[in-house]
């Protein structure tokens, strides 16, 4: 019977070095096939679907916003209010387009079909529709109280075209936020923490237009306090939207809740407040919205 000699430490080291050199040449070779490069990119997206989504969403939305105001920036002039407002419609494509691209890439046509099915889902208890009344009722109540007890400047506005703006925002954004991002995020962090993180990222997504949200534009020195107050309110709203989605699995209901929230802010936001007053009423609204969100989530979870 023949026996092979045991490998020596020197031979093992030589073999390992040879394998390492071969791998290095393969990995860094400039002649790597395009199909292999595509595979590497797809594997990164597959390993990091949430990070890939937010990177793509921010890139699409912020590029669109920048293109709207680029003529004014190139001329080194102040961005007019109208151009600032028009940045937001340009940003709306980001969340939805990124979701459709990545869903098709990662889950194929079946994934797109499942997403569209959740966008058509309406078979749930009618009581869930009552939650859609929370944003307009709360915005109106907060402003009415501030008007009566603090200043007449907080009188609720009645800008009815804001309804259309809310519908567009709700439809396009929730394809991504609830249709793609949240279901994947809660696999790692659970529903409440995922909704809170998504709320913060949602608030940060508004940064290019944060100086043009609300009535007191521009916010000037108060832009950062307004951003914090706005993000606090949006995070509470995201908790409500995520709770509704988790109980119904309906992207459509999330879209309607988002539309209700954005429409309420667009319609009722007072037009005569100063930047400081706008920060104040968003702080009050955000605090009230968090109270409502906690109550709804606790009561709904107990049922």
- Torsion, Cα of 65, 67, 72, 74 (10° steps): 130
Reading the block at residue 148, the tokens are 């009566």
Over 80: is that where the pLDDT of 69 sits?
A: yes
- CA dist., res. 15 & res. 11, Å (int): 6
Across the chain, mean pLDDT equals: 86
pTM, to two decimals: 0.83
Cα R_g (the chain), whole angstroms:
25
Residue 199's contacts (CB-CB under 8 Å, 6 or more residues apart) are: 231, 234, 235, 236, 237, 238, 239
Over 50: is that where the pLDDT of 142 sits?
A: yes
pLDDT band at 145 (very low <50, low <70, confident <90, very high): very high
Over 80: is that where the pLDDT of 107 sits?
A: yes
SS3 content of the chain, % helix, strand, coil (to 5): 80, 0, 20
Contact present, 257 and 244 (Cβ < 8 Å): yes
pLDDT band at 6 (very low <50, low <70, confident <90, very high): very low
Average pLDDT over residues 260-287: 95
pLDDT band at 157 (very low <50, low <70, confident <90, very high): very high
Q: What is the DSSP string of 182-213?
A: HHHHHHHH-HHHHHHHHHHHHHHHTGGGGGGS
Residue 32's contacts (CB-CB under 8 Å, 6 or more residues apart) are: 26
- CA dist., res. 264 & res. 269, Å (int): 8
Task: State the pLDDT at residue 241.
Answer: 97
Task: State the pLDDT at residue 129.
Answer: 85
Residue 242, preceding peptide bond in cis (omega within 30° of 0): no
- CA dist., res. 264 & res. 135, Å (int): 6
Handedness of CA 127, 179, 282, 266 (dihedral sign): negative
Task: State the pLDDT at residue 302.
Answer: 64
CA-nearest of 112, 108, 131 to 120 is 112
- CA dist., res. 86 & res. 165, Å (int): 11
Per the document, the length of the chain is: 303
Question: What region, left, alpha or beta, does residue 114 occupy, with left being phi > 0 and alpha being psi -120 to 50 degrees?
Answer: alpha
280 or 36, greater pLDDT? 280
């Amino acid at each position: 019977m023949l026996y092979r000699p045991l490998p020596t430490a020197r031979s093992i080291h030589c073999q390992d070095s040879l394998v390492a050199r071969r791998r290095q040449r393969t990995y860094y070779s400039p002649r790597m096939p395009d199909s292999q490069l595509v595979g590497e990119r797809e594997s990164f997206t597959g390993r990091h679907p949430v990070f890939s989504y937010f990177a793509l969403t921010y890139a699409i939305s912020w590029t669109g916003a920048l293109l709207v105001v680029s003529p004014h920036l190139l001329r080194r002039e102040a961005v007019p209010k109208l151009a600032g407002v028009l940045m937001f419609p340009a940003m709306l494509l980001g969340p939805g387009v990124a979701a459709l691209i990545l869903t098709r890439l990662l889950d194929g046509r079946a994934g797109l079909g499942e997403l569209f099915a959740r966008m058509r889902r309406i078979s749930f208890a009618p009581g869930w529709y009552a939650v859609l009344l929370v944003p307009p009722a709360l915005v109106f109540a907060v402003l009415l109280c501030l008007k009566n007890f603090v200043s007449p400047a907080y009188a609720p506005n009645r800008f009815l075209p804001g309804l259309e703006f809310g519908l567009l925002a709700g439809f396009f954004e929730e394809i991504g936020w609830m249709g793609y991002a949240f279901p994947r995020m809660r696999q790692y962090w659970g529903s409440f923490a995922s909704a809170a993180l998504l709320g913060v990222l949602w608030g940060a997504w508004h940064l290019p237009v944060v100086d043009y949200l609300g009535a007191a534009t521009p916010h000037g020195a108060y832009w950062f306090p307004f951003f914090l107050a706005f993000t606090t309110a949006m995070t509470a709203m995201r908790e409500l939207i995520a709770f509704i989605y988790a109980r119904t699995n309906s992207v459509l209901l999330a879209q309607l809740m988002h539309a209700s929230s954005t429409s309420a802010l667009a319609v009722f936001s007072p037009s005569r407040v100063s930047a400081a007053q706008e920060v104040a009423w968003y702080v009050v609204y955000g605090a009230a919205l968090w109270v409502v969100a906690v109550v709804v989530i606790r009561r709904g979870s107990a049922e």
